[in-house]
Amino acid sequence: QVQLVESGGGLVQAGGSLRLSCAASGGTFSRYAMGWFRQAPGQEREFVASVGWSDDTTSYTAFVRGRFTISRDNSKNTVYLQMNTLKPEDTAVYYCAAKETRTSSTIYSSPRNYDYWGQGTQVTVSS
């Protein structure tokens, strides 16, 4: 069983930056694909970014590409989401998710593929 705990959310002005962290425990972290998702009030949970066993394999949704960077530190069992040039429409609860995979380059963008989820961290961007 894998436990995920997000941190780093908060209130920031438009144009600012935040770095989210997701600390994992249980399981073999280095063999998990990791993803970040977000959910705004009244909306479905949507894909933000994912990473394979290392930073060599990453994927981003179009509306964050060039502004957000996903990375991981397997020695710390932690995945990060660096968010720059934040916009009010980035306001949401951000969740990290994990899925054990068989290959280093396997990543997923659908929340249905992930087995483990954190509790979420609120990100609010003011205009």
- C-alpha separations of 116 from 5, 10, 89 in Å: 11, 23, 26
67-78: average pLDDT: 98
Q: Give the pLDDT band of residue 59 (cuts 50, 70, 90).
A: very high
Both tokens of 74, joined, read 């397997």
CB 48 within 8 Å of CB 61: yes
94-100: average pLDDT: 98
59-88: average pLDDT: 97
Residue 47, pLDDT score = 98
- Statement: residue 1 has pLDDT above 90: no
